[in-house]
Amino acid sequence: MLIRKNDTVVVIKGSDASPDHKTIAKVLEVYPKENKVLVEGINVVWKHVRPSRRNPRGGRVQKEMPISAANVMLYCPRCQRGVRVGRRYLADGTKERYCKKCKNSLGTIGPRAKRRQGVATSSPSSSS
């Protein structure tokens, strides 16, 4: 899954999706194990909660429920639409996401490549 927390996504399926794919929202949480994402304002349900210490009266609260990651597409600011995303590696080994349409970078993901030891040899470059 190439979607990360705080990403902007377009909801393409489900009751909160608009037919023209204009439903743009922010990802609040990702659940990689279940391949699901929690999207702000999407799939909001009324939860009926029992009285608890935090909520002594109980009742109904509105709450987002996770939706399948397959129902959202990452939003590309350059294309201004939801796009398919690829992954590629930069010269320094950093993993990066990119828009498959415009090849624009959509930010780095994953752990950075391990720094090779001995690269940062601080030699005073006074060779002239």
Q: How far apart are CA 88 and CA 110, in angstroms?
A: 11
Rule CB under 5 A: say whether 79 interacts with Zn ion. Answer: yes
Q: Is 78 in the site for Zn ion (CB under 5 A)?
A: yes
105, 95 contact by CB (below 8 A): no
Identify which of residues 23 and 43 has a Cβ nearer to Zn ion in the complex.
23
* Residue 77 binds to Zn ion (criterion: CB under 5 A): no
Name 70's Cβ contacts closer than 8 Å, sequence gap at least 6. 13, 35
Least distance to Zn ion from the beta carbon of 47, Å? 37
The binding site for Zn ion (CB under 5 A) comprises: 76, 78-79, 99, 101-102, 104
